[in-house]
Structure 1
Amino acid sequence: MPAASALVIGSIIGTGVFALPSALAPYGPISLVAFGVVTLGALALALTFGALSKRVSASGGPYVYAREAFGEFAGFLNAWSYWITAWAGNAAIAVAWVGYVEVFVNTGHQKWISVLLAVAGLWVPAAINLTGVRNTGAFQVITTVLKFVPLVFMATVGLLFIDADNFGPFNASNQSAIGAISAAGAIALFSYLGLEAAAVVAGRVRKPGRNVPRATVYGTLLCAVIYILGTLAVFGTVAHGKLGGSTAPFTDAANNIFGGTWAGDLVAAAAIISGIGALNGWTMLCAEMPYAAARDGLFPRAFAQLRGRNEVPAFGIVASTVLASLITVFSYTSFQDVFTKIVLLSVLTAVIPYLFSAAAQLYWLLARGGERTGPGRLTRDVTVAALALVFSYWSIQGSGYQTVYYGLFVLLLGVPVYVWLKRGEAVDGQTPEPKAAAIPAQRRRAPETPPPARRFRHGSRTERADRTRERDDLRHRD
């Protein structure tokens, strides 16, 4: 459980929380209300993912849940959307990370040096992931511990130095209160992306039925406390007029509290470590879900190939990092508010799998006749899943029309890919046999000697594919 919890916390707490106060500053303190609403929604999602991981303990998270509940096409769309979230989110994390790196270097913020720093920040975690899952998990634990101490310090000691004059107007935007909360909430949700991390890699977690739900819920709760208190401290220690233009708001807050620059430098160092840890976890997720989908024939075959002695999905890691690098370069050269633009796209493409996951939970609870437990527990589970579903819809509308337009466009780009993947399955008008369901964790350990019934060489193309997939399940999901 420690590694799974570290993956959740490390994936959630990246540089998002360190850059978030500046992104929320245009809305004023009302964004703290939005943060509270988003926190409740994130907890509903965490509980939903925890419940879903007990039903389907294979790797893949939202992709697996959508596929098992609604079929292959829904599974593909979720895998496609989440994959976009992962590498686009990495670009946003890298942009925020550069803001703290430039506390020490490139203090003049020369654009092309910033671009080079961001690209380097993307490829270092990719190199770590290419060395294997064990190294990735160990690195995640180390970075989580190192970054947590200064974050807790800022979220506690910083509260003692709050000055009410720094908050500015409660609603600094030109929108209604509901509109401001919705818009600020869409940005704030980015800081919680990654709460499903343990569910995505459930097939690689020991005792996933127990450890994945605990890691998901406890990790989200812990991050929520740090987020709300830390953001409150920054809003109260940095003047509102300066906060919106800050590239390192936590550093500015620390310097205002203690004077000089030494405290801000320590916070900047923590943010740099935090960003690398988050990029490390998200780079794993960039490859893990496409790997699960590719093994089911719902993503290009190259994503399912394992390379090296440690058998890592190298193609997924490299391809995702290349795309993240490209969108980083494009954003720096095309947008002024680089971080916010990428954040909103990442949130939208993440919320779609969240919505399908909540719907899958409701489907299993209601459409399949409910649970074998008492009505009290069924009512509770249905309520939580319904809240997660409503929260997902709310987050989509809060992303803004332009973001929804671009997000829908990139999502539908996956339709031709799905058609291409399925082009060879139906022959002579016959419908291919359905794929086998994911093998539960408790049955994944392969016997030393395969039973005689599995030693055959002939059979249809579909049968051979199914047998190959089963052998891969037994070999790689332990």
Structure 2
Amino acid sequence: MSISTKLSTPSLFERMLRTKPIDAMPTHGEEATGGLHRTIGLFQLTMFGVGATIGSGIFVILGDAVPKAGPGVILSFIIAGITAALTALCYAELASSIPSTGSSYSYTYATMGEMVAYLVGWCLLLEYGISTSAIAVGWGQYLNELSFDLLGMRMPAAIANPPGVNGGIFNLPAVVLVFMCCVLLLRGTKESARVNAIMVVVKIAVLIMFILIGLTAFHSSNLHPFMPMGMSGVGAAASSIFFSYIGLDTIATASDEVKNPKRTLPLAILFSLAIVTAVYVLVAIVGVGSQPYTEFNGNEAGLVQILRRITGATWPGVILAMGAVISIFSITLVTLYGQTRILYAMARDGMLPKIFAKVDAHTKTPRKNTVIVGTLVAIAAALLPLDVLADLTSMGTLVAFAIVSTGVIILRRTRPDLPRGFKVPFYPLFPILSVLFCIYLIADLPTHTFTLFAVWLSFALIFYFSYSMRNSKLENV
């Protein structure tokens, strides 16, 4: 009997590669299990994607990316947009066939096995947690511009600026922002989605205003030289700004709370990508065309400064600063939401402690999960500089995106019979190109980012072998 038991016990390698059956995914059915309710429609979900994306690349990172690439930052946004588009198609196919909360983590669990999925989950935790901190960091700068225009006063640099930037020590506005977003998320997903949709419409209107005013000062001479730092500068800028496309991934994290997810998820991904890419490229063109690239300063709220110089008045800057404050609020809200849902999905599978999967009986939200995430994100936003945060976010995002694209190829071979509401066109060319573009952008990230990422994954592996493998729901199946 003992010999038979020993022979039937899976090896360590088999345990690491075990996959979760797609038919066992908890979202197959009218309502998701675990207490989450389906309250999000196509418009709200599309606004979730747009809300998690537009703003971080324009309101926060543009001032840092332009000095790297010059006017060639336009090309940087296009390269990042192409990479995001190729990956979005892959996300759309997997979302239509595996509509499960957890996004890349859940897709990988069904295609490549438990350990790879677990590491992808940690990439997503890095992606969402760090990106939320990176986005919140820029809030204080625009809040300062707004308070100066309206009240004639500014917050002290020590508490308003990112650490290490213009005397910044502790970024207090970022902490306040994360706290407010946590409070809203604790009230419920439906309420959060409504508020986010309103904020997204407002910020798109504000950016359209910037484009229209900026065009009046557009000079083609500002686009020369187009690539002063060469293609390497364009690639470096594209790698840094890619974190602004994580809204596409956020859509997939909402699967358990989406009405008709097999149809709604792929449509929301494609719609949000089209809106985001168009706005990003237009704002980048107008931004670098209206003033010399050498005048961009990553330590300032650059778009506000551009409008002030063009109009000679303060009111356009006030409106844009208001839009930026609202915009960064909505991005922080949605990325914080995505982080909690990734943790929820992993805890539900036994990969993380059960506290992250507990859902409040009244609000139907993971309350303790949200409080823990909000606390850690606020600490990171208060104490870490923006450039480190942005590069780490890009690394986590690009790795997760590359694995999702690979998962499409694997699932086409292993489950050709699986119903798919959407299929990637020009298969397998587009998934392969998606992987190659992701690798190209990863290669241009700074060396210290690879070091920090390796340390992060080392901690992940230690936790996997000491806790997650033994507590996995598949351990005794």
Alignment TM class, shorter chain as reference = 0.7 to 0.9
Distance 1:182 1:370 in 2: 39
Q: Which runs of 4+ in 1 moved over 4 A?
A: 367-373
Does residue 171 in structure 1 map to residue 227 in structure 2? yes
Contact 1:364 1:370 in 2 (8 A): no
Deviates more, 1:38-47 or 1:178-187: 178-187
Contact 2:133 2:381 in 1 (8 A): yes
Among 78, 83, 93, the alignment partner of 2:120 is 78
The equivalent residue for 1:440 is: none
Distance 1:49 1:256 in 2: 42
Does residue 310 in structure 1 map to residue 363 in structure 2? yes
Counterpart secondary structure, 1:103: helix
Among 225, 239, 242, the alignment partner of 2:295 is 242
1:371: how far off?
8.0
Contact 1:371 1:378 in 2 (8 A): no
Distance 2:195 2:176 in 1: 18
The equivalent residue for 2:45 is: 4
Does residue 277 in structure 1 map to residue 319 in structure 2? no
The equivalent residue for 1:335 is: none
**Cα shift readout 1:75-103 (whole Å, capped 9, x = no counterpart):** 11111110121111111101122221110
Corresponding residue pairs, total? 419
1:7: how far off?
0.4
Distance 2:299 2:222 in 1: 14
The equivalent residue for 1:341 is: 388
Paired residues for 1:157-306 under 5 Å: 157-167=213-223, 169-173=225-229, 177-306=230-359
The equivalent residue for 1:359 is: 406
The equivalent residue for 2:191 is: 135
The equivalent residue for 2:54 is: 13
**Cα shift readout 1:276-323 (whole Å, capped 9, x = no counterpart):** 111111111110011011101112211111125112112222222222
Distance 1:58 1:245 in 2: 38
Distance 2:424 2:54 in 1: 32
Distance 1:423 1:364 in 2: 24
Distance 2:424 2:93 in 1: 12
1:382: how far off?
1.6
Among 138, 142, 150, the alignment partner of 1:100 is 142
Distance 1:39 1:379 in 2: 17
Does residue 25 in structure 1 map to residue 66 in structure 2? yes
Aligned CA distance change for structure 1 residues 245 and 399 (closer, same or farther; 3 Å): closer
Distance 2:256 2:380 in 1: 30
1:211: how far off?
0.9
Among 391, 394, 415, the alignment partner of 2:461 is 415
Distance 2:137 2:424 in 1: 43
Aligned CA distance change for structure 1 residues 424 and 108 (closer, same or farther; 3 Å): closer
User: Scaled by the length of structure 1, what TM-score is found?
Assistant: 0.83
Does residue 55 in structure 1 map to residue 97 in structure 2? yes
1:182: how far off?
1.7
1:328: how far off?
2.1
Distance 1:433 1:209 in 2: 25
The equivalent residue for 1:111 is: 158
Distance 2:419 2:326 in 1: 46
Counterpart secondary structure, 2:228: coil
The equivalent residue for 2:7 is: none
Structure 2: stretches of 5+ with no match in the other structure? 1-41, 148-152, 162-170
User: Scaled by the length of structure 2, what TM-score is found?
Assistant: 0.83
Distance 2:351 2:419 in 1: 33
Contact 2:351 2:469 in 1 (8 A): no
**Cα shift readout 1:111-139 (whole Å, capped 9, x = no counterpart):** 22441111101111111001111111111
One-letter identity of the residue aligned with 2:242: L
Aligned CA distance change for structure 1 residues 308 and 17 (closer, same or farther; 3 Å): farther
User: Could you tell me the percent identity over the aligned residues?
Assistant: 21
Contact 1:16 1:96 in 2 (8 A): no
Counterpart secondary structure, 2:225: coil
Distance 1:109 1:195 in 2: 36
Aligned CA distance change for structure 1 residues 56 and 240 (closer, same or farther; 3 Å): same
Counterpart secondary structure, 1:294: helix
**Cα shift readout 1:334-390 (whole Å, capped 9, x = no counterpart):** xxxx322210111111112111111111111245558899xxx77713222112111
Distance 1:379 1:423 in 2: 37
The equivalent residue for 1:445 is: none
Contact 2:304 2:320 in 1 (8 A): yes
Among 425, 432, 437, the alignment partner of 1:386 is 432
Contact 1:151 1:230 in 2 (8 A): yes
One-letter identity of the residue aligned with 2:47: A
Contact 2:129 2:377 in 1 (8 A): yes
Among 150, 171, 190, the alignment partner of 2:206 is 150
One-letter identity of the residue aligned with 2:386: F
Structure 1: stretches of 5+ with no match in the other structure? 332-337, 426-431, 436-461, 464-478
Distance 1:73 1:55 in 2: 22
1:167: how far off?
4.0
Contact 2:136 2:174 in 1 (8 A): yes
Counterpart secondary structure, 1:63: helix
Contact 1:87 1:324 in 2 (8 A): yes
CA RMSD of aligned residues (A): 2.2
One-letter identity of the residue aligned with 2:429: T
Distance 2:211 2:101 in 1: 34
Contact 1:3 1:141 in 2 (8 A): yes
